[in-house]
Amino acid sequence: METEDPLPDRSDEIYRRHFIRPDGTFVGNIEAIYRECDDPWLQTTDAKRSALKRIILLQLAELPVRRVLDIGCGNGAFADLMRREAGAEVLGMDVSATAIAQARERYPECRFEVASAAEVGRFADFRPTALCMCGVTWWILEIFRDVLVMLKRHFAGGLLFHMMTFYAPGKQRYGTEHFTNLEELLPYFAEMTVLETFEHKLYKEDLWIRALLIARI
C-alpha cells in the first residue's frame, strides 16, 4: 500500500477512481491501482527521499536484533532499503497480489507474502523486533483499532513505526470523523507507549503533513 503523498498529475484519475473519490467516498481498490500504475505513489523514489523514513532507518540500525514486519509493504522498495541500509531481515506483507509479485521479482533478498492487515497475526512466528505501518492507515480505517489490538496481542514489546499523511482542512474529505491530525491520532495508541513523534510539512502551502509515530507495543 505504501505512501500517501501528493499524487503525480498523470495518475490523478486512477487514484480518484480506485482510492478515494473527490466527494470523499472510499473505494479502496488497491489491486486496480497496482495493475494500472507502474509505481503507485512513486514508492521507489519516496523510499530514498523521505525524511521520516530516514529516521526509521537510523533507529532500526541501532537495534541489536533487526527483524522487521512491513505491514502494507507495497512494491517492496522500502522493505529492501531497510534490508540494505539498516541490515534488517524483512518480511513484507500486502493485500495486493500484484504488488507482492512485483516486490518478489525486484527484491528477492526479502520475503513477501500476500495478506491483509487483518491477518497480521499469521506472522507472529516471525518474531519481529520492529513493525512498520507506512501509508496503510487510510486503507484500513474501519478496522484500524482492531489491527492495533492484534499488534498488542501478537507482538508485545516490539517497536512500531507508524507513518501517515494528513491533509489540510477542506482537502481531507475521508475519515475526518476518526482523526485529521497527529494530536487526534494519539489516543488510538493509548495501550502502547508512545516514544517519539515527528511531523514533516511536504509543501510550503502546508497542504500535506506527514507524521511519524514511534511506539513500544
Q: Cβ distance 189 to 148 under 8 Å?
A: yes
Q: Cβ distance 164 to 184 under 8 Å?
A: no
Domain 43-216 coded CATH 3.40.50.150: yes
Plot region of 97 (φ>0 → left; ψ -120 to 50 → alpha; else → beta):
alpha
pLDDT at residue number 10? 56
What stretch of H or E contains 164? strand 159-167
pLDDT at residue number 28? 76
Whole-prediction pTM: 0.91
pLDDT at residue number 206? 56
pLDDT at residue number 1? 47
Close Cβ partners of 57 (under 8 Å, ≥ 6 residues apart): 81, 82, 85, 86
Distance, in Å, from the CA atom of 22 to the CA atom of 14, rounded to the nearest integer, reads: 12
Q: What is the pLDDT along the chain (217 residues), one digit of tens a residue?
A: 444 444 444 567 777 788 777 778 877 788 988 888 888 888 888 888 899 999 999 999 999 999 999 999 999 999 999 999 999 999 999 999 999 999 999 999 999 999 999 999 999 999 999 999 999 999 999 999 999 999 999 999 999 999 999 987 777 889 999 999 999 999 999 999 999 999 988 665 557 899 999 999 9
Name the CA dihedral angle for 41, 81, 153, 149, rounded to a multiple of 10 degrees: -20
Buried-state track 123-139, b at ≥16 Cβ within 10 A, e below 16: beebebbbbbbbbbbbb
Q: What is the DSSP letter of 26?
A: B
Residue 125's SS3 state is helix
Identity of the residue numbered 198: F
Q: Cβ distance 80 to 107 under 8 Å?
A: yes
Longest CA pairwise span in the chain (Å): 47
